[in-house]
Amino acid sequence: MSGYSDGAVVSIAQRKLFLNNGVQLAYYDSHAEDGDGIGQTVVLLHGYCGSSAYWEKIAEGLEQSVRIIAPDLRGHGQSSAPEDDVYTMDLFAEDIAQLLIQLQLHNVILLGHSLGGYVTLAFAERYAKKLSGFGLIHSTPLADSDTAKENRDKAVAALEGNGVQAFVDGLVPKLFAPASLETMPQDVEHAKQIGYGTSLQGAVGTAKGMKERPNRAKAIDDTDLPVLLVAGEHDKVIPSESTFAASNASTVKVLLDGAGHMGMVEAPEKLAAAILSFADGIKG
């Protein structure tokens, strides 16, 4: 598998469809032709200023056992960027719900990285019957603090003043553990290239949406579904205590040693193993 690139967008999505709300959603489907032969489907939602290409390193290890669906969220990757001023987590969740309906997928495992985790929780609140389990990867059920909300406003101002590329150049190095910055410079550069493909409308609208999101700890505390929570040992964006801030009787907690905020890139084998173990537990 290799990331698609048209000079501006890096994505592994190889299919597109139009949703009922007019959004064109691009997505990667590991078993588009033979999906009926795979028992479980895992839907992977990427983080802010990312794309489906965030999952490239772990997809091949996972898709031997499960069907992988990895969309480019609205405003990111190859997907369209609607004119909505604020991309709320509920809007993202509705996109995913419509995607699953069109693909006739039920009882999926929904896992979200960072922003994708916020979307996952919004989805779990509204569409729990479509899930067999869900999880957060370097994400949190907590709402933004006052300081974090101020930083969202600063992000919007920076994006509108200097554009997406300058913003991504400042953002991406913060996502990796300090050691990873030294040992995997090509991966850091690749993450920047992925980020450059984010539309200005998408980056601004999503920052506003993340600022507005509520505390959704109850979506984990009160669910009957299995929950996977994955944190990075050296994550400076969302520390482990924030990822593990809620739990239920069926919560699995995983700490990725040595990883920052990008476990799917920094520790892909460990993360893939955690996901498959979680999926196997649901299957059993």
Q: pLDDT (tens digit, 9 = 90+) per residue, 199-255?
A: 999 999 999 999 999 999 999 999 999 999 999 999 999 999 999 999 999 999 999
Residue 101 lies in a domain: yes
CA dist., res. 130 & res. 2, Å (int): 30
Whole-angstrom distance, CA of residue 139 vs CA of residue 137? 5
Residue that is written with structure tokens 């009882």 in the block: 107
* 2 pLDDT tier (thresholds 50, 70, 90): very low
* Backbone φ and ψ of 192, nearest 5°: -65, -45
Q: How many CB atoms lie within 10 A of CB 173?
A: 14
Instruction: Give domain status of residue 2, yes or no.
Output: no
Does residue 4 sit within a domain?
Answer: no
| Pairwise CA distance, residues 253 & 228, whole Å | 6
Please check whether residue 183 lies inside any domain of the structure. yes
Distance separating alpha carbons of residues 240 and 234, to the nearest angstrom? 9
5 within some domain: no
- Domain span at residue 179? 10-283
State the CATH number of the domain containing residue 65: 3.40.50.1820
Whether the predicted pLDDT of 86 surpasses 90: yes
Count of domains for the chain = 1
By percentage, how much of the chain surpasses pLDDT 90? 92
- pLDDT, position 5: 42
Q: What percent of the chain has pLDDT over 70?
A: 95
Query: Strand ranges (DSSP E) for the chain?
Result: 4-5, 10-11, 15-18, 24-29, 41-45, 67-71, 108-113, 131-137, 227-232, 251-256
Closest alpha carbon to 274 in 197, 259, 69: 259
3 is a domain residue? no
